[in-house]
Amino acid sequence: MFFESTFMTHVMNTYKRLPVAFERGEGCWVWDKQGKRYLDALAGIAVCGLGHSHPSLVRAISSQAAKLIHTSNLYEIPLQEALADRLAAISGMDEVFFCNSGCEANEAAIKIARLHGHGKGIETPAIIVMEKAFHGRTIATLSATGSRKVQAGFEPLVPGFVRVPFDDLTAVRKVAENNRSVVAVLVELIQGEGGINICHADYLHGLREICDANGWLLMLDEVQSGTGRTGRWFAFEHSGVRPDVMTLAKGLASGVPIGACLAAGAAAGVFKPGNHGSTFGGNPLACAAALATLDIIETEKLMANASAMGEFIRAELRAALDGVAGVREIRGMGLMVGIELDTACGDIVQSALDAGLLVNVTDDNVVRLLPPLTVARSEAAQIVAMLVPLMTDFLARSRTAPPAVQTA
């Protein structure tokens, strides 16, 4: 009786869930169990790039599920080979390992770097990672992540990571001068969980030069920024610098679990049979969903839409919030948008939910928007129209709130 009255669910308590359950979705909208409609400006945290229930995606998933969902990587999987060919063609990379999530893709990247290092005779290979980075919650990717908040309590962390400030080439060069065990750099070009932090235009060029000069692998985590979200297939395309390793997940199959680790140059061919594997990785259903996703993004010109709608949202936000005390910066690329405030603003998430808008807050004080790539101009305008008064009201209240009472 105690168990029944104390616990509402048998789901392990790892998420601080909002008090809503969604029942169905269409395009940029979702409906809860009571029939209330919400404008989705989060897309499952950059997962539902095609919006919800896209007819072509639904047909592709249904058709494949009726034929074959899973076999095993012990056998040839033609859809997996077709997806690898497609990703190689649009990225310029050479080969792909498929898994089920972003952290798994980053685990594969870490293993490639270490195996590459051992092949060069380096006994304890190290990887340069960034402050405020997020690469996952497995024990290795957690160790690579630049947030003590998510690492706390899980020590001892995995060794072999050297942390430097993000977007700081001088710091990377200093490590190169003093640490001969480094074999790779792992970086997000846009830090999603870190607050929509975007590196300078010359940063990737500088990293490429440093990596080439030292024989390191340049590894890009494009789990959140990839698959069209920034207005190009991949964020690295904005600079024209190809990485040696790139990781993808989130929007790659529009909600069907998939991850991918792509390799090129010195990183290609590092994995041999037995070095790595995945039971579910690259199964026919996930690959069919990913191939359909890539087709839809291309045929419906959703990368151009992501670029245009992202610019529109940022311009509208800047105009509406110009001069508002507490707004530090509005930044982003494509449909990755961050509004940085000068105070922690997690309460905005619940206020937005109450108003029928889905957003979230990252790095404590950055409101993050990740709408579907299909978002229409009218919906983009509605996101701004709904969000701006919530933010101005929050900021006004935060400045008039009485100071906390000091106790002895």
250 is catalytic: yes
| Choice among 221, 271, 363, 394 that is catalytic | 221
Q: In one letter, which amino acid is 27?
A: G
CB 157 within 8 A of CB 139: yes
Cα distance between residue 134 and residue 144, in whole Å: 8
Catalytic residue, chosen from 250, 271, 363, 394, is 250
Strands 126-130 and 182-187: parallel
- CA 229 – CA 233 distance, rounded (Å): 7
Q: Can you tell me the distance from the alpha carbon of 53 to that of 55, in angstroms, rounded to the nearest whole number?
A: 6
Q: What are the φ and ψ backbone dihedral angles of 258, each rounded to 5 degrees?
A: -160, 150
Q: What Å distances lie between residue 290 and 228, 282, 384, 389, CA to CA?
A: 13, 10, 30, 38
Q: Token digits for 365?
A: 């004080």
**62/144 Cα distance (integer angstroms):** 38
- Work out whether the CA dihedral 120, 124, 129, 133 comes out positive or negative: positive
Question: Which member of 98, 134, 236, 394 is catalytic?
Answer: 134
134 flagged as catalytic: yes
Question: What is the set of active-site residues?
Answer: 134, 221, 250
